[in-house]
Amino acid sequence: QSSGSSGINAEYGEDVDDELENEVREECSKYGSVKKVVVYQEAQSDAEDAEVVVKLFVQFHKTSECEVAVKRLHGRWFGGRAIDASLYDEQKFLRDDLSG
């Protein structure tokens, strides 16, 4: 079995809540066996009031599951936001480099 990582990026701003990780895991489990979900909040500058972009990373057990998830989720709406889904470099993900 090969493993893969699928980065699913959506801007959520201040709307991130404790349920987001579970909601993403539940939705993505429709496309394969989810190994890990990471909710990453990235400030767009060092300013105190900088815009925050929330990136969602989902790791599946198989690369083929990642590919299906990306095809099915890209352009869909989730939590009131359009999803920009793409495959993410697995080595970067494993190094916790989520800035890409």
In three state form, how does the secondary structure of 19-75 look? CHHHHHHHHHCCCCCEEEEEEEEEECCCCCCCCEEEEEEEEECCHHHHHHHHHHHCC
pLDDT tens per residue across span 10-23: 444 556 777 888 98
The candidate with the shortest Cα–Cα distance to 41, out of 55, 31, 30, is: 55
Q: Is the pTM of this model over 0.95?
A: no
pLDDT digits (tens, 9 = 90+) for 28-43: 999 999 999 998 888 8
Which has more confidence, 6 or 32? 32
d(CA 6, CA 33): 12
Residue 12's φ and ψ, nearest 5 degrees, are -115, -10
At residue 55, the pLDDT reads 85
In tens, the pLDDT along 84-98 reads 888 888 888 889 888
pLDDT band at 69 (very low <50, low <70, confident <90, very high): very high
49, 39, 48, 45: which is closest to 11 by C-alpha? 39
| Residue 73 φ then ψ, to 5° | -95, -30
Residue 8 or residue 83, greater confidence:
83
